[in-house]
Amino acid sequence: MTSTQVVAPVLARSTQPARRLPVPHKRAIAFFVLPFGALFALFYALPVGYAVWQSLLVVEREGTFGPARQVFGGLAQYEQVFQNGPFWTSVGRVLLFGAVQVPVMLLLALVFALLLDSPLLRGKRFFRLAFFVPYAVPGVVAAIMWGFLYSPNLSPFTAVTSNVDLLSADLVLWAMANVVTWVYVGYNMLIIYSSLLAIPTEVYEAARLDGAGQLRIAWSVKIPLVLPAIVLTTVFSIIGTLQLLAEPQVFRSFSSAVTSTFTPNLTVYSTSSVPNFNLAAAFSVVLALATFVLSFAFLKLTQKKGVQ
């Protein structure tokens, strides 16, 4: 028998379409997926769809004092959104906020994670808890606490607050950035630290055999291997930046510089309180799309640079 006669049946079998194996336990899979699917549809998909539908409606009245009724208005609400100057000013404000605050926060989270992973640090349990404790404080409580610390008449640090007005129009945004950084550094640190713990010890042993010290290992081994975790925390931070609400809402009671349109989410909240639910829904849809575009663009950018 020649080699051609042996290979021919093999090639014939390889060109045949692969048969899909039956999925076992379909009922069990459906049973476990159904609760999540029901909750996802009820508390996420349906509210999103309802918000999109509300953004396409307008309120009309018959006469000056006639009853109000909602009718389909197409993209009329979105025209108002794109013509709303304060809303886009607030978007630019939070983008500036994120461009400064997110890198600082993630740099601190990375440094703390590297310190916890270093064999030279003692008392790791204490520092791990100390770094994470601020995240356990609710955002509203943290904003109130820092608001009192910033107030010249209430702060125990009067030597600073009497000379530097941290609640002024020029500094209040960065005062909020300090609150957000204080709360979320520990959260991002744990994500990066968990990624560091997943690195095999053989990698460190090989680096030490090559004569690398702790700083060299951190820079050339640890940081490159935890880049996916850093990308993940960056995406979370981008989403959180555009959703900034609790801090400016609380700081309105401490500073007159924080207006009802200070951030996009505060604009949505204030608009819905008028009430103008249809315009607020249009604001929310545009903000959600902007968040998706920024997050997706960042992921694509990191993928092109080889971060996976």
pLDDT, tens digit (0-9, with 9 covering 90-100), for 94-146: 999 999 999 999 999 999 999 998 888 888 888 888 889 999 998 899 999 99
pTM: 0.83
pLDDT at residue 295 in the model: 92
Radius of gyration from C-alpha coordinates of the chain:
27
pLDDT at residue 61 in the model: 76
CATH 1.10.3720.10 domain extents, the chain: 78-307
> Nearest-CA neighbor of 75 among 59, 55, 60, 49?
55
DSSP string computed for 131-190? HHHHHHS-HHHHHHHHHHHH-TTT-S-HHHHTTS-TTSTTTHHHHHHHHHHHHHHHHHHH
Summarize pLDDT for 221-239 with one digit per residue, the tens: 999 999 999 999 999 999 9
Architecture of domain 78-307: Orthogonal Bundle (1.10)
> Nearest-CA neighbor of 182 among 235, 145, 236?
145
Summarize pLDDT for 250-288 with one digit per residue, the tens: 999 999 899 999 999 999 999 998 888 999 999 999 999
pLDDT at residue 10 in the model: 47
* Residues near 6 by beta carbon (within 8 Å), at least 6 away in sequence: none
Q: Do you find a cis peptide bond into 248, omega within 30 degrees of 0?
A: no
pLDDT at residue 60 in the model: 83
**Tokens at 147, concatenated:** 């608001």
* Residues near 285 by beta carbon (within 8 Å), at least 6 away in sequence: 51, 52, 55, 78
DSSP 16: S
